[in-house]
Amino acid sequence: MKGAPITVTKNNIEDGKAIAVIVNSGNANTCAPGGIEMAQWTCQLAADAIGAQAKDIIVCSTGVIGEPLDKEPFKAGIGPVTEALSYDGGHAAAEAIMTTDTVPKECAVEFELGGKICRLGAIAKGSGMINPNMATMLSFITTDAAISPEMLQKALSEDIKDTYNQISVDGDTSTNDTVAVMANGLAGNDEITEDGEDFFIFRQALNAVTTVLAKKLAADGEGASKLIECIVSGTADKETARKISKSVISSDLLKAAMFGEDANWGRVLCAIGYTDAEFDADDIQVVMSSEKGSVKVCEHSALSPYSEDEAAVVLSAKEIQIAVHMNQGDGSAAAWGCDLTYDYVQINGDYRS
C-alpha cells in the first residue's frame, strides 16, 4: 500500500534524472480520491514555476492518510516558495517538512574527489510511523559531485541497508517512505561511472550523513525521551547482525523498559530469539552503556550479576547503547530506536485532531 506520490515519482525517475523536489506536509495523499491526478498536477505546477518538465519532478507528501489533498494551498504557495529558492534554503526546507517532529534534521559534509572539493548534504523528517523498508519518513540528499545515475543508485541502495533501514520508532512501515538523492556535477570532478577509489570516498561521505540523520530520526521518535543504539557483533555475517540489532531496538517491551530505566536484559534475549535468522543462542553477551557508565547484564546467555541501582543510573541518560556479542564470527551492524513513553500513545490517540 503506497501513497500516490510514490507511484508518480517512480514513473518520473525511470530515466534516472530529476531536477527538483516538491513536498507537502500534513496530508499524505494516500488512499485519497484522485490521488494520482493530484500528484501529477503538483508536478506540473512545480515544473511550470521553474521552467522544467513535469517528468523531471520528484513529488512527496507526508501526513494524514485517506484525506483529499486540496489544490488551493499549492496554488497560493508555489509563487512565494519559488521566489524563496536559494542555496541557503536547506534549513527552511527541513523545518517545512516536519509533522510531529520536534526538531528539524539536517547534516552536510565536504570531501575531495580528484582535487575538487565536493559537498553532500541532506534533510530528513520522521517521528512516528517509522520502520523504513527501502516511515512516515522522507529524506532528500543533494550533492554537487559528478556521479552517474546508476552509481548514485548503487551507492544509496547499499547505504540504506546500514542506515535508514536500521531504524524503528514504532514498527509501523509508512505508505510514503521516500529517500531521494540528486547530483548536479557542479563540483567539476571526473564523473564517477564505476567502482574505484572515488566511488569509495563518495560512499563514505554519503554514509556519514545518513548515519547522523538515522540517529536523529530515531532520537526524535514521537514522545521519545531516549535514543537506543544496539550494536551487534560476533555474528556469522553482516546480514544476521543487521537483523538482530533491528529486532532488539524494535521490541516494544524493551523500549518500555528503557523508558522505565529498567535493565530487563531478558527482553533483549527474547528479541534476539525471534529474529528471522539462523544462529546459535547459547553464548550471548549483553552490555548496557551510556555516558554514565556501563554494566554487563548477560554472559553466556545467562545472568551476569550486576547492581540494579547502578544499572538504573546508566539507563537514566538520554542516549543508551546496548552491545550484543554473539561469539560466532566477524559480522557486525548497528540499529537505532527510542524508548516507548506515555506521550507516544497520547500523540497517536488524537493524531488527526
d(CA 298, CA 285): 5
For 198, 226, 256, 315, 322, the CA distances from 264, given in Å and listed in that order, are 45, 16, 10, 11, 12
Active site residue 7: no
CB 248 within 8 A of CB 230: yes
CA dihedral 41, 352, 65, 24 (to 10 degrees): 30
Q: Which three cell numbers stand for residue 103?
A: 526538531
Phi, psi dihedral angles at 328 (to 5 degrees): -135, 0
Length of the chain: 353
Closest CA to 192 of 178, 181, 176, 177: 181
H-assigned helices in the chain: 4-12, 35-50, 72-83, 90-96, 149-159, 197-219, 238-250, 252-259, 266-273, 308-314, 342-349
**Which residue's C-alpha cell is 530520526?**
217
Buried b (16+ CB within 10 A) or exposed e, 249-266: bbbeebbebbbebebebe
Set 100, 136, 163, 211: catalytic member: 136
The secondary structure of residue 2, as a DSSP letter, is -
HSE-CB of 251 using CA atoms within 13 angstroms: 27
* Alpha-carbon gap, residue 286 to 306, rounded angstroms: 12
* Contact yes or no for 212/330 (Cβ under 8 A): no
CA–CA separation, 133 and 5 (whole Å):
17
Beta strands in 78-176 (DSSP E): 105-113, 116-125, 138-143, 167-168
- At 31, the amino acid letter reads C
Q: List active site positions.
A: 136
